[in-house]
């Protein structure tokens, strides 16, 4: 056995023990040290770098580490094996920021905007913002020797008297506290209940003078990022909001790698633990602390995520999703409860799951479709969710079609050497001077925040600017030379946005040809999916009235640049609307409003799913779209015009 110490830049350390020959990344995973490994430990992505401080590692050299860096002690964890006691430093580079939790500042109106807008749009569509949770005050007779009815029967009768519903259900958690609560409050209590046509279910009891807060939890489980809200179920107020990386990231960057990992012995449990124990429960903890709510006061939860994510969340076997004929366990389920999944909220809380449409179009899309409101207009619109999977919904109040394409994690900063989420330190917008080739950019965070990496919107800007300045070819290869452009010994070019002296990182913030290539593939997947979907219906982009763009790409997304690199169709820019994390706002709507929840089920049923992988012509469209802006320039007349000018 060897002793391994993982040191963080903060100075803290975690100690682990491993046998000779064990893989360092595996050891880190076992010890819950988050080392980002989007490629699942195949030495492909170069993200799992650690620095050897003392001891020896048997480590292969890869193209991700320069000779100089190797000398300094940098190693890839996935190709390193333990041969002695070692101390390694886990660096604070862009990718490490991915996993960090961030609680939102709710005093900023920007954070709340999408939820207020969601409520407004639902109201306009005639959807009542009412759910089945309510607060019912009841006063009972104090028992005496003449009135010896048990406590629970007393409560049941009182509730039946108020509601007119005979069936009242009181769970164990309430029974356990019932005698004390009733006596403390002299048999007058406020009950948090769920009322349906058939029964009343009691979640909690409060004294008459107590300020009751019935919390609801909204979670958007993205493949890369998990966002959550705590809301007041009675009035819809947002009490807390937080975001963190999906703990499953260390088991692979995309759904396919996650499913493969889940089929290894104990894998299903590991993946479920990673998303619940390591991701959602800490989010709940942080948010509850922020808003002063007890976790047990959260009485309902709504989850939106892609089909694989909600399967792994529920602990279901996801393998059939991956293999022909791609069958999910469920599209819609109401059988999940907090207690069964180990979620730290009220154990009886019911988990509402946004329904799936296909193996690769899940609840994040059905929820998002609801808030995009494309189903409520006669004009044709496109709803695009730019996530690790790109999903597209097209249609109007008469019909809707959907499809999914694998865009990879690039929009959220994955698979990009300096990629990160749209959080503090991310370059979110950029322009480049055509003559000097010097960049100027804006960084998310407090004034003076130095750049750490690039988020999706920043990537779009940088690539668009590199192309505009003729620094890269339409294939994404560098064609100009300059002080900020360099080539490694394998000939790979890169452009330095900020040298490490000017950055808040241990390395230069740069964009490489491999990054650009990954991004071109991502944007190619999105554009070709839109084209294929529209072409299959004999539609032309000119018939599209509005395009709603959602996802964690960053609110700073510059639509002109996104069109300029051929990611979105070339239609007038005022038709594009960025609607933020629509999966989260959709799940919020489903939790807050029973009618909205039913509407989402209806949308899911009425949407036609188109499987792109079996659509002839998709591959052709994809190859044609992997070019800036597109192989067929006639599809981008405005870009072409700008070039000739």
Partner 1 sequence: MPFTKKLQKFNATIRTVELGTGEKAVKLGGGSTFPFYTFDGPTANPAKIGIEISDMGLENEPDCIKAFYEGCGSVAEIAKKAASFEGVDFVVLKLEGGDPNGADKPVEELVNVAKEVSEAIDLPLVVEGCKNVQKDAELLSKVAEALQGKNVLLLSAREEDYKNIAAAAGLAYDQLIGAESAVDINLAKQLNVLIKQLGVDLGKVVMNVGSAAAGYGFDYVISTMDRVRAAALGQADDSLLMPVITPVSSETWTVKEASASEEDAPGWGPVEERGIDMEVETAVACLTCGSDAVILKHPTSIATVSKMIQALS
Q: 320 or 474: whose CB is closer to partner 1?
A: 474
Nearest to 290 by CA among 216, 356, 228, 239: 239
Query: Per-residue x/- mask for partner 1, residues 14 to 43, rule CB under 8 A?
Result: ------------------------------
What distance in Å separates the CA atoms of residue 382 and residue 401, rounded to the nearest whole number? 10
Between 453 and 524, name the residue whose CB sits nearer to partner 1.
524
Closest separation in Å from C-beta 254 to partner 1: 25
**Residue 386: strand pairing partners:** 390
User: Minimum distance from CB of 470 to partner 1 (Å)?
Assistant: 9
Shortest reach from residue 513's CB to partner 1, in Å: 12
In which region does residue 432 sit, left (phi positive, over 0), alpha (psi from -120 to 50) or beta (all else)? beta
The reply to whether omega before 291 is within 30° of 0 (cis) is: no
SS3 351: strand
Smallest gap from residue 521 Cβ to partner 1 (A): 14
Q: How far apart (Å, rounded) are the C-alpha atoms in residues 243 and 359?
A: 25
CB of 566 to partner 1, least distance (A): 12
Tell me which stretch binds partner 1 (CB under 8 A): 3-11, 129-137, 431-439, 625-633.
Answer: 625-633
Q: Which is nearer to partner 1, 441 or 627 (CB)?
A: 627
Closest CA to 217 of 293, 272, 132: 293
Q: Which stretch in 215-223, 273-281, 543-551, 616-624 sits in contact with partner 1 by CB under 8 A?
A: 616-624
- 142 vs 619, which CB is nearer to partner 1? 619
Name residues contacting partner 1, limited to 441-500 (CB under 8 A): 473-475, 479
Q: Which residues between 65 and 104 bind partner 1 (CB under 8 A)?
A: none
Query: What residues contact residue 277 under an 8 Å CB cut-off, 6+ apart?
Result: 247, 342
Q: Which is nearer to partner 1, 110 or 620 (CB)?
A: 620
In 3D, which of 265, 155, 247 has the Cα closest to residue 201?
155
Site for partner 1 in 356-395 (CB under 8 A): none
As measured in angstroms, the least distance from the Cβ of 46 to partner 1 is: 22
CA distance 356 to 366: 7
Pick the closer one to partner 1 by CB: 235 or 470. Answer: 470
Whether the link from the prior residue into 325 is cis, omega within 30° of 0, is yes
Alpha carbon distance, N-terminus to C-terminus of the chain: 68
Taking the complex as a whole, the smallest distance from the CB of residue 541 to partner 1 amounts, in Å, to 18
C-alpha to C-alpha distance for 183 and 397, rounded to whole angstroms: 55
Give the integer Cα–Cα distance in Å for 587 and 593.
Answer: 10
How many other β-carbons are positioned within 10 Å of the β-carbon of residue 450? 15
- Tell the smallest beta-carbon distance from residue 635 to partner 1 (Å): 12
* Residue 443 · residue 449 · CB < 8 Å: yes
Nearest-approach distance from CB 631 to partner 1, in angstroms: 5
Q: What does the radius of gyration of the chain's CA atoms come to, in whole angstroms?
A: 26
**How far apart, in whole angstroms, are the C-alpha atoms of residue 401 and residue 534?**
9
> With respect to partner 1, which residue has the nearer C-beta, 446 or 645?
645
Pick between residue 222 and residue 566 the one whose CB is nearest to partner 1: 566
User: Given the rule CB under 8 A, which of 68-76, 83-91, 355-363, 619-627 is the region that contacts partner 1?
Assistant: 619-627
Q: Which of 623, 637, 641, 642 binds partner 1 (CB under 8 A)?
A: 623
Cβ closest to partner 1, residue 21 vs residue 617: 617
| The dihedral formed by the CA atoms of 301, 304, 310 and 315, expressed in degrees to the nearest 10 | -20
Q: Which H/E stretch holds residue 622?
A: helix 618-625
- Closest distance of CB 371 from partner 1, Å: 36
Whether 49 and 64 have beta carbons less than 8 Å apart is answered as yes
64 in Cβ contact with 46 (< 8 Å):
yes
Nearer to partner 1 among residue 113 and residue 475 (C-beta) = 475
Taking the least distance from each CB to partner 1, the nearer of 173 and 615 is 615
Which of these segments, 118-126, 263-271, 536-544, 622-630, binds partner 1 (CB under 8 A)?
622-630
Residue of the chain from 153, 180, 184, 620 that contacts partner 1 (CB under 8 A):
620
By CB under 8 A, name the one of 281, 442, 631, 638 that touches partner 1: 631
**Size of the residue set binding partner 1 (CB under 8 A):** 10
Residue placing its CB nearer to partner 1 in the complex, 362 or 493: 493
Write out the two tokens for 88.
């390694």
From 360, 548, 627, 636, residue interacting with partner 1 (rule: CB under 8 A):
627
CA–CA dist 618, 612 (Å, integer): 6
Structure tokens at 278: 């390591």
Q: Note the helical H segments in 492-593.
A: 513-536, 559-564, 582-592
Q: Which of residues 548-587 bind partner 1 (CB under 8 A)?
A: none
Question: Shortest Cβ distance from residue 616 to partner 1 (Å)?
Answer: 13
* From 103, 112, 212, 624, residue interacting with partner 1 (rule: CB under 8 A): 624
- Of the pair 319, 620, the CB lying nearest partner 1 is at 620
Angle at 296 between CA 293 and CA 299, to 5 degrees: 95
Our measurement of the distance from residue 163's CA atom to the centroid of its chain's CA atoms, rounded to an integer in Å, reads 40
Contacts of 331-335 with CB under 8 Å at 24 or more apart are: 331/355, 331/356, 331/357, 331/604, 332/356, 332/601, 332/604
Nearest approach in angstroms of CB 5 to partner 1 is 45
- Write down the least CB distance from residue 60 to partner 1, Å: 25
Q: How far is the CB of 627 from partner 1 (least distance, A)?
A: 5
Put residue 230 in one of left, alpha, beta given phi > 0 → left and psi -120 to 50 → alpha.
beta
Q: Which stretch binds partner 1 (CB under 8 A): 378-386, 394-402, 564-572, 618-626?
A: 618-626
| Residue nearer to partner 1 on the CB measure, 366 or 494 | 494
Binding footprint of partner 1 on the chain (CB under 8 A)? 473-475, 479, 620, 623-624, 627, 631-632
């Amino acid at each position: 056995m060897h002793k391994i110490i993982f040191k963080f830049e903060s100075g803290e350390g975690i100690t682990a023990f491993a046998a000779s020959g064990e893989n360092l990344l595996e050891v880190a995973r076992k010890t819950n040290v988050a080392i980002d490994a989007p490629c699942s430990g195949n030495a492909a992505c170069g993200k799992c770098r650690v620095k050897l401080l003392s001891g020896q590692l048997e480590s292969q050299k890869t193209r991700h580490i320069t000779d100089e860096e190797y000398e300094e002690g940098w190693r890839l964890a996935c190709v390193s094996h333990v041969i002695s006691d070692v101390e390694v430093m886990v660096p604070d580079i862009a990718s490490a920021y991915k996993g960090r939790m961030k609680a939102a500042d709710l005093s900023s109106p920007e954070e709340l905007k999408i939820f207020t807008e969601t409520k407004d749009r639902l109201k306009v569509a005639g959807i009542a913002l009412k759910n089945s949770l309510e607060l019912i005050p009841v006063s009972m007779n104090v028992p005496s020797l003449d009135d010896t009815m048990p406590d629970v029967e007393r409560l049941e009768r009182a509730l039946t008297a108020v509601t007119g519903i005979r069936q009242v259900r009181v769970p164990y958690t309430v029974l356990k506290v019932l005698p004390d609560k009733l006596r403390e409050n002299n048999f007058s209590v406020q009950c948090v209940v769920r009322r349906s046509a058939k029964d009343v279910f009691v979640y909690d009891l409060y004294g008459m003078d107590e300020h009751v807060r019935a919390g609801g939890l909204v979670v958007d489980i993205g493949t890369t990022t998990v966002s959550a809200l705590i809301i007041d179920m009675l009035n819809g107020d947002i009490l807390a909001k937080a975001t963190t990386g999906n703990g499953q990231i260390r088991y692979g960057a995309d759904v396919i790698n996650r499913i493969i990992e889940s089929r290894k012995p104990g894998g299903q449990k590991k993946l479920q633990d990673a998303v619940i124990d390591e991701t959602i429960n800490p989010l709940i903890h942080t948010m509850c602390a922020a808003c002063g709510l007890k976790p047990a006061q959260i009485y309902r939860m709504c989850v939106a995520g892609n089909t694989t994510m909600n399967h792994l969340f529920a602990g279901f076997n996801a393998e059939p999703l991956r293999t022909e004929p791609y069958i999910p366990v469920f599209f819609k389920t109401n059988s999940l409860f907090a207690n069964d999944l180990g979620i730290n909220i009220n154990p009886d809380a019911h988990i509402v799951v946004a329904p799936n449409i296909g193996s690769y179009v899940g609840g994040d899309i059905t929820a998002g479709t609801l808030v995009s409101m494309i189903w409520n207009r006669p004009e044709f619109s496109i709803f695009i969710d730019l996530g690790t999977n790109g999903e597209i919904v097209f249609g109007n109040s008469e019909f809707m079609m959907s499809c999914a394409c694998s865009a990879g994690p690039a929009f959220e900063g994955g698979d990009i050497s300096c990629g990160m989420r749209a959080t503090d330190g991310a370059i979110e917008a950029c322009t480049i001077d055509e003559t000097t080739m010097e960049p100027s950019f804006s960084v998310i965070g407090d004034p003076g925040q130095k750049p750490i990496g690039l988020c999706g919107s920043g990537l779009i800007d940088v690539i668009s600017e590199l192309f505009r300045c003729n620094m890269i070819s339409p294939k994404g290869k560098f064609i100009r030379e300059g002080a900020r452009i360099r080539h490694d010994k394998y000939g790979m070019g890169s452009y330095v946005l900020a040298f490490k002296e000017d950055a808040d990182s241990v390395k230069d913030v740069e964009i490489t040809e491999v990054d650009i290539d990954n991004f071109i593939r991502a944007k190619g997947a999105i554009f070709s999916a839109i084209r294929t979907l529209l072409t299959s219906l004999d539609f032309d982009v000119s018939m599209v009235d509005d395009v709603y763009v959602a996802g964690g790409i960053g609110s700073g997304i510059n639509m002109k640049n996104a069109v300029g690199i051929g990611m979105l169709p070339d239609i007038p820019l005022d038709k594009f609307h960025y609607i933020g994390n629509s999966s989260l706002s959709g799940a919020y709507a489903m939790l807050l409003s029973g009618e909205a929840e039913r509407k989402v089920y209806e949308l899911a049923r009425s949407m036609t799913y188109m499987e792109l992988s079996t659509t002839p012509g998709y591959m052709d469209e994809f190859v044609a779209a992997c070019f800036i802006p597109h192989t067929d320039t006639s599809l981008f007349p405005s870009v072409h015009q700008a070039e000739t000018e």
